[in-house]
Copies of this chain bind each other. A is one copy, B any other.
Amino acid sequence: MVKKETYSISELAKEFDVTTRSIRFYEDQELLKPTRRGQTRIFSSKDRVRLKLILRGKRMGFSLSETKELFDLWDETLSGNEKQLLLMLDTLSRKRAQLEQQKNDIAMAEMEMDTAEARCREALADLEQKKKDQKMPANDEESTTAEQK
């Protein structure tokens, strides 16, 4: 009783919050390869891992076929011949470059969100100030319209 070896389709669907339709679709596309008992699908823990990877890939903007390519490549890599190993190393380095790009994009996005948030807070502070001014108008001059530029 280590970790549970097999899973039903609805168990996986519930755990990862996807529809059974999606899971069947992933099998159809050969990203998952459940065995059968009768006609019922039985998923292994390897399938479970792959499902997790599929979903992470999606969040990272990977298409199913990209993910499948990686799965296939990894399977072939396990065959152990030198050509496949080198191919895998090459692919890994390309993927790493992709991740670098994504980290860059995220960093950029964060910076822009920082400045956006700062501007929001400024604008809010201005509004609060005006509220006070309205309640307790200390000095005169026209204060109603046109203040920027």
Contact indicator A96/B113 (Cβ below 8 Å): yes
Complex formed: what's the CA distance from A60 to B106 in Å?
A: 8
Q: Does A110 contact B (CB under 8 A)?
A: yes
Complex formed: what's the CA distance from A113 to B74 in Å?
A: 11
A84-136: which residues lie under 8 A (CB-CB) from chain B? 85-86, 88-89, 92, 95-96, 99, 101-103, 105-106, 108-110, 113, 116-117, 120-121, 123-124, 127
Please give, as numbers and ranges, the residues of chain B lying within 8 Å of A61 by CB-CB distance: 58-61
The interface size bin for chain A is 20 to 34
Please give, as numbers and ranges, the residues of chain B lying within 8 Å of A109 by CB-CB distance: 56, 60, 95, 99
Residues of A whose CB lies within 8 Å of any CB of B are: 56, 58-61, 74, 77, 80, 82, 85-86, 88-89, 92, 95-96, 99, 101-103, 105-106, 108-110, 113, 116-117, 120-121, 123-124, 127
